[in-house]
Amino acid sequence: MGTRPPERLRIALQNAGRLTRDSTELLRHAGLEFEEHDRRLLAPCRNFALDILFVRDDDIPEYVQDGVVDLGIVGTNAVREAGARVDVLLELGFGYCSLVIAVPERSPIHSARDLSGARIATAYPRSLKAFLRDQGVEAEVVEIRGSAEIAPALDVSDAICDLVSTGSTLRLNDLRPLVTVYESQAALTAHPGSLRDEDRAAGIRRLELRMEAYLTARRLRYVMLNAPAAALDQIKAILPGLRSPTVIPLADPGLVAVHAAVEEEVFWEVLERLKAAGGSDILVLPVEKLMR
């Protein structure tokens, strides 16, 4: 499909919106060099056989499905709403949001079942209808464009179904969340046909590995410390590391240096326990890339 030069891959990114900065940064962390001052429609990478197409996010799922591009970075919400047949290769850890149904604070609606007969305004009709069908609720879906949050105040609807991340927009509009339809985040998606083409698949795989290496590394901190040799067993037990920690003898025979990678979520707890176990001169470095 498509009439592109077979030797270059194409990836679609959102041109101006919530996903744009994280998407371009991810590509840069994957080692790609490209210009984007004016986010021209098609930005070629200088050091990888890849062209970047900047478009509206809503267009990305279909472009990927139809093979206009090989790859796309887009919210899984947009993929689901489009009903696009694409392969989700990698969740990217940004663009987190949920599609929720919300009602005015003083609404008598308190459960999904109470929505029966209600009017629900949304720019996500496909997702909402699928949800209502699942729940066995018959409600009227009022399709709108853009944000739905003022629809109840205008008496266009009794409820809304919209994307939220913090929920502050809901509170600002005197709405309370009723139920979550699904959670979403940005994902690397691929055209199934490109994955069946040997050359394209190889290029896609290289990109995917680079992104994975960055995403994995971002969650890690490299910890170096000195410890009494006698405390080594205890210290090793605290440090899960990737495989096992690196232990280096020091000039002072009573001391060793220990190096290990630690997950960010448990990082502070690990640091406190290392200190308590006799660790000193604890040095922490970011991890740039990790290829397993």
DSSP code string of the chain: ---S-TT-EEEEEESSSTTHHHHHHHHHHTT-----SS--SEEE-SSSSEEEEEE-GGGHHHHHHHTSSSEEEEEHHHHHHHT---EEEEE-S-S-EEEEEEEETT-S--SGGGGTT-EEEES-HHHHHHHHHHHT---EEEE-SS--TTTTTTTS-SEEEEEESSSHHHHHTTEEEEEEEEEE-EEEEE-HHHHHSHHHHHHHHHHHHHHHHHHHHHTEEEEEEEEEGGGHHHHHHH---SSS-EEEE-SSTTEEEEEEEEEGGGHHHHHHHHHHTT-EEEEEEE------
Work out whether 72 is an interface residue with ligand ATP (CB under 6 A).
no
164 contact, one of Zn ion, ligand ATP, none, CB 5-8 Å limit per kind: ligand ATP
Supply the minimum distance, in Å, between the C-beta of residue 166 and ligand ATP.
7
Supply the minimum distance, in Å, between the C-beta of residue 282 and ligand ATP.
36
CA distance 280 to 269: 15
Which of residues 37 and 145 has its CB atom nearest to ligand ATP in the complex? 145
110 contact, one of Zn ion, ligand ATP, none, CB 5-8 Å limit per kind: none
Two tokens at 135? Answer: 């729940």
Which of residues 53 and 223 has its CB atom nearest to Zn ion in the complex? 53
Please give the residue whose beta carbon sits closest to Zn ion in the complex.
Answer: 58
Work out whether 275 is an interface residue with ligand ATP (CB under 6 A).
no
Interface stretch with ligand ATP, choices 55-63, 100-108, 113-121, 257-265 (CB under 6 A): 55-63
Work out whether 163 is an interface residue with ligand ATP (CB under 6 A).
yes
Supply the minimum distance, in Å, between the C-beta of residue 146 and ligand ATP.
7
Which of residues 81 and 227 has its CB atom nearest to ligand ATP in the complex? 81
Work out whether 73 is an interface residue with ligand ATP (CB under 6 A).
no
Interface stretch with ligand ATP, choices 3-11, 54-62, 150-158, 256-264 (CB under 6 A): 54-62
Output b/e per residue, 213-237; b: 16+ Cβ within 10 A. bbbbbbebbbbbbbbbeebbebbbe
Supply the minimum distance, in Å, between the C-beta of residue 17 and Zn ion.
7
Work out whether 58 is an interface residue with ligand ATP (CB under 6 A).
yes
Output b/e per residue, 136-166; b: 16+ Cβ within 10 A. ebebebbebeeebbebbeeeebbbbbbbbee
- Of 230-269, binders to ligand ATP (CB under 6 A) are none
Interface stretch with ligand ATP, choices 72-80, 82-90, 236-244, 271-279 (CB under 6 A): 72-80
Supply the minimum distance, in Å, between the C-beta of residue 217 and Zn ion.
30
| Total chain residues near ligand ATP (CB under 6 A) | 16
Please give the residue whose beta carbon sits closest to ligand ATP in the complex.
Answer: 75
Would you tell me which residues interact with Zn ion (CB under 5 A)? 57-58
Supply the minimum distance, in Å, between the C-beta of residue 74 and ligand ATP.
7
By CB under 6 A, name the binding residues for ligand ATP: 14, 17-19, 56-58, 75, 77-78, 95, 97, 163-165, 184
